[in-house]
Amino acid sequence: MANPILEIRNLHARIEDREILKGVNLSIPAGELHAVMGRNGSGKSTLSYVLAGKDDYEITEGEVLLDGVDLLAMEPDERAAAGLFLAFQYPIEIPGVSTMTFLKAAMNAQRKSRGEGELSTPDFMRAVKEAGATLNIDASMLKRPLNVGFSGGEKKRAEVLQMALLAPKMCILDETDSGLDIDALQVVAKGVNGLRTAQRSMLVITHYQRLLNHIVPDVVHVFSDGRIVESGDKSLALQLEAKGYADFDSEPA
């Protein structure tokens, strides 16, 4: 059987003296979309940062494989080129760098690190136009500096645009629904759903079931106190919505 796209084994991570991830186990086969749900502070976002390689965290135990390759040994940019993409909860502003320039720099950097040639300008423009159309992103937005003065909806659409253009194997969406009204959420969800393929896997991190009405998961995991405490199908999300997280707390309050 083929490797799962993402395989996390007994992952422990800490920031300074505080252990945040306490033995995460998760396997996502190709083509599946998994949701991780949990209350604020349960360590969900830490999981996404650790996978992407943010250096504030120290990994004390465990391993992570991306399509069979040791992910933790790679630098953040190498992880990106290997096909890992993180859609940020709070996308970062890059003043003075137009969205278009940023997209081209990112695409070419990844191509270079995979030993491919630079994208020609017409090919690039075509790709951006196509991907932008689904997300209601027009030329004027692409000329603005990336994320600077973008509304919540624009930021998240720009994240999904990058995801579409960089064509990763493994997408992690961190609280993609935060800051979105229902119309914006639908546009973003449509964009994400359009990127679901049999080869690509996704990990959607959220604490609301709302998003999962629009982006329907294959598997739902409940995250509590730094580990996955329960897994099930999409009905688990509804159950959480009805009852809250209290039933799943590892240490009763």
Partner 1 sequence: MYFYAAPKSTPAPTSLDEVDPELLAMYDKLGIPLKEREILAGVERPNVAVDAVMDSVSVVTTFREELAKVGIIFCSISEAIREHAELVQKYLGSVVPVTDNYYATLNSAVFTDGSFVYIPKGVRCPMELSTYFRINEKKTGQFERTLIIAEDDSYVSYLEGCTAPMRDESQLHAAVVELVALENAEIKYSTVQNWYPGDKDGKGGIYNFVTKRGDCRGDNSKISWTQVETGSAITWKYPSCILRGDNSRGEFYSIAISNGYQQVDSGTKMIHLGKNTSSRIIAKGIAAGFSDNTYRGQVSAHAKAKGARNFTQCDSLLIGDKCGAHTVPYIESRNATAVFEHEATTSKISDDQMFYCQQRGLDGEAAVALIVNGFVRDVLQHLPMEFMVESQKLIAISLEGSVG
At 37, phi and psi to the nearest 5?
-115, 145
Specify the DSSP element, H or E, that contains 213.
helix 210-214
- DSSP assignment letter at 248: G
The nearest distance, CB 168 to partner 1, in angstroms, is 10
Please identify, using beta-carbon distances, which residue of 80 and 220 lies nearer to partner 1: 80
Give the residue with the Cβ less far from partner 1, 88 or 248.
Answer: 88
Question: From the list 162, 176, 201, 206, which residue makes contact with partner 1 (rule: CB under 8 A)?
Answer: 162
The nearest distance, CB 16 to partner 1, in angstroms, is 15
Cα 237 from Cα 114, distance rounded (Å) = 38
Helix (H), strand (E) at residue 130: helix 121-134
Q: What tokens appear for 200 in the block? A: 């690509």
> What string marks each residue from 29 to 58 as x (binds partner 1 by CB under 8 A) or -?
-----------------------xxxxx--
In the complex with partner 1, the residue whose CB is nearer, 52 or 195, is: 52
Q: Is 70 in the site for partner 1 (CB under 8 A)?
A: no
Q: What share of the chain is helix, strand, coil (3-state, %, to 5)?
A: 35, 25, 35
Closest separation between CB of residue 206 and partner 1, Å?
Answer: 19
Token pair of 39 as six digits: 């209350």
Residue 208 C-alpha from the chain's centroid: 16
Nearer to partner 1, 156 or 227 (CB): 156
Q: How far is the CB of 22 from partner 1 (least distance, A)?
A: 24
DSSP state of 145: B
Q: How many CA atoms lie within 13 A of 168 on its CB side?
A: 29
The answer to the question of residue 76 lying near partner 1 (CB under 8 A) is yes
Name which of residues 163 to 182 contact partner 1 (CB under 8 A). Answer: 166
Length of the chain equals 253
Residue 75 makes contact with partner 1 by CB under 8 A: yes
User: Which of 37, 86 has the CB closer to partner 1?
Assistant: 86
48: tokens are: 């996404």
Q: Report angle CA 156, 109, 81 to the nearest 5 degrees.
A: 75
Cβ atoms of residues 141 and 154 within 8 Å: yes
Select 55 or 251, whichever has its Cβ closest to partner 1.
55
Q: Which is nearer to partner 1, 37 or 166 (CB)?
A: 166
Residues numbered 77 to 136 that lie near partner 1 (CB under 8 A) are 77, 79-81, 85-86, 88, 91-97, 101-102, 105-107, 109-110, 113
201 binds partner 1 (CB under 8 A): no
Nearest to 231 by CA among 240, 239, 241, 221: 221
Site residues, partner 1 (CB under 8 A): 52-56, 75-77, 79-81, 85-86, 88, 91-97, 101-102, 105-107, 109-110, 113, 145, 162, 166
